[in-house]
A and B are shown apart, each in its own frame.
Chain A
């Protein structure tokens, strides 16, 4: 297809960032358009209805379901506390062999069934709050659902991550984009920080980061086995696997963002230098990743104070042209940067014998090679 290439992951020192902050259910929006918010400002709130706890009253009292209504001390709509009496049998002579059933939870009686002999008690609703996540301005209110927060800032998108939203200061812990993070690079001084490294973080490094209270890790690659082994122990779930990579919900002490992929892969130097230049600033990060049905990539956002919004550019973002800077994202040239030198329109047969639409590129190491268009990403700078 004519557009068979992967739009690049965004790596930008200054761009306009929009974050949609939406509730899972309808609720109340607490801010208005134009308001200035900090990352912790609660922008919307709702309540998730409590679960209805079913109490098998007929079974507990040893009576027929149809008899339950007559034995209950409560009715639909009544509020009950844990251990309150729900119903009891009359017993022998009103005194002996009396059975009773008490409420296991605090809530409101919502259901009485003479078919099953069950009583349903709805527990209190759970409040859910959505914060702004990044410092910025409310640019749009989505009535009853949430808001859009807009800010000017630096943005680095990763390819894969685990762990949810966090805010902390950025610290670089390796000398270059090619150096791995090992356990020796991490010290207690990194507590509460987001650490930046090069090509990889080892399994021992992941464990040390958790031990030291590190809040975030941004790195080029991670070996699949190291990450799965760490998650299995941290989540107390032997054999844990990330499945189809819908992540971000893992209850682990830090957020991990991988910028390149699985294995030991140098972080793109441009990405590393940008993150290094932001050292000491507070970033909002999120490891949430979803490959299918609504792509979500992990991100590092550093809002810039008092920055002037950049003009919307007419540059052909997402368009391949001669001279477009690209990065190859599959073997045999995985991770290497290049510049497009030719865009032949006819299909070309590659080594696997597949006929594909290709491009020619001059790689950073000087080689001129042919690559399927599907195997490159455009380096987006806007």
Chain B
């Protein structure tokens, strides 16, 4: 991190350059304070990431992306030393702040361990995921593996870092010593930096640390933090998350090609990309006092973020993505689940070969409409699977004794319920190439509706050009600028989805809508869109309007079966979308009928279909 006088009071910064070094592309944005005092995105540039051979230096891609900004803005941002010049010399030369996030080089790959899989090991997963890591293995005493299998796996995976947890303070010691013995046995080496010691964070029973240190202290780079599960009913994830962040900067970043140099260029610490996106999601939920679900679907991984009842959770599905990992989506979802979203006939063999070819040439773009629809079908399944994964981890603590209604019987089975409640969800934020760069925004709305099947009333939004990572790191040093750019340039309002929960027969009455002076009955199995756009032109702040929707007696919009809801809703690119396809959505079994139905829904959303 470079010395920068502006940073002492970051609110003095008038120009801000921020980069995100992704696994494929390095994206740069330039933000400037306008004469009105407001901060706005000025221009965006990008270039291939250069963390791999033949460059082996991430800063080459950073400079290339910034050069594109220079070309588009007519400014000179790279100084004589070949790095972003800070602070700005004048209106045309340099910037006041330079910030960066990174997920290049495979991100931060961690193994976590705990004593019990559904207790300390699960808390350790939440700590690591919340700090922006990709979890490559979870080790626990009850993980149904033999010791030699764990040892072999640990050697083979070569994580960047290990988070070790287990035991409440004053609880088990022997299991933690056994875990340490396993580490001694495996003698693992870190992924980056041949000959260096592997960083290990100890966040388990304090009383066991001395013995753990005696066993592994000389073999690994060991660091102790507060127990992440000090008692059964309390989770304390912050110290472990902070230690992960520190070690990420100290060890992993310093070993990744070119990062040592990049850290001297930035005005604040480099942040891992998912950590930065998580900051933005938390800020949205906090500022608006709402429940939020966010997703960032990339080429290799899909990150899911949620804030329900002020509790933040993040998960990463390391092998669900739209290019490198597209065939893992095929394997996990199965070919028939991808095909069900296609509004045309195709053979299994052709579909499989096409997805494999996308995997081996991941940067290609669908030129034909049918190829785009295949990728969007895959995205529905990747989003769905990543969300299932998220729901399984975003939950209350397991193993906490809760008092039952009768007598003093305690039950630990009922705890650990998922925090994700679709009916109480207020807003979905989509991000990542397939959502941010869909040719029509309506396609993004429908992909998220099909994958998440929101219930009741839910606002749908997307990140305009995928700049949430940069705004996340900016929010750490200049929250006001980050909020202004987020609201004005980043967040695109797609509209509000109103979806009753229940099921019925095709064509039966489902809801009655009273909107803008008109009353209309909408049958089961349909999508109906009411236009409601923006206050000024085609983007920015959406219009709001009152709506009353009354479901028939088998359907619920959140107020109870058959009970009307009356509220103010926000519009957007699509407007107000009434989705009476039922929850869960069931597609016709017959292929021809299914294709006809899909075309009907696509048409209702103003989305073209391939013939």
Contact = CB atoms under 8 A, between A and B. Distances in A.
B45 to A, nearest CB: 8
A294 to B, nearest CB: 5
Interface in B176-219: 177-178, 181-182, 184-187, 189, 194-195, 211, 215
A82 B327 CA distance: 46
A354 B328 contact: no
A223 B357 CA distance: 11
A54 B146 CA distance: 12
A137 to B, nearest CB: 21
B360 A291 contact: yes
A213 B25 CA distance: 43
A289 B327 CA distance: 15
A144 B194 CA distance: 10
A369 to B, nearest CB: 10
A224 B349 contact: yes
B36 interface: no
A224 B353 contact: yes
Contacts of A160: 360
Interface residues of B, number: 64
Contact of A51 (B105, B185, B362, B369): B185
B364 A353 contact: no
Given A293-B23, A372-B365, A245 B359 contact: yes
A75 interface: no
Contacts of A262: 352-353, 356-357, 360
B174 interface: yes
A2 B178 CA distance: 54
A353 B439 contact: yes
B325 interface: yes
A83 to B, nearest CB: 19
A4, A49, A144, A352, most chain B CB atoms within 10 A? A352
A2, A292, A354, A356, most chain B CB atoms within 10 A? A292
A181 B400 CA distance: 62
A354 B353 contact: no
Nearest to A295: B52
B366 interface: yes
Which interface class (under 10, 10 to 19, 20 to 34, 35 or more) fits A? Answer: 35 or more
Contact of B361 (A53, A261, A263, A351): A261
Interface in B61-108: 64, 68, 105-106
A371 interface: yes
Contacts of A374: 363-365
A330 B151 contact: no
A263 B357 contact: yes
B12 interface: no
B433 to A, nearest CB: 11
A111 interface: yes
Contact of B148 (A1, A51, A111): A51
B173 interface: yes
Interface string A101-118: 000000000110101101
A113 B177 contact: yes
A343 interface: no
A3 interface: yes
Contacts of A53: 148, 185
A223 B354 CA distance: 10
Contacts of A145: 194
Contact of A294 (B53, B152, B195): B53
B62 to A, nearest CB: 13
A372 B366 CA distance: 9
A144 B185 CA distance: 24
A90 interface: no
Interface string A249-284: 000000000000111000000000000000000000
A70 interface: no
A224 B331 contact: no
A65 interface: yes
B368 interface: yes
Nearest to A377: B361
B177 A116 contact: yes
A355 B367 CA distance: 10
6 contacts: A1-B25, A2-B68, A52-B151, A159-B361, A330-B364, A350-B365
Interface of B: 23, 25, 45-48, 52-53, 64, 68, 105-106, 147-148, 151-152, 155, 173-174, 177-178, 181-182, 184-187, 189, 194-195, 211, 215, 299-300, 319, 324-325, 327-328, 331, 349-350, 352-354, 356-357, 359-369, 371-372, 437, 439-440, 608
Q: Which 8 A-B pairs have the closest CB atoms?
A: A353-B439, A52-B185, A262-B356, A352-B372, A263-B353, A293-B106, A292-B324, A262-B353
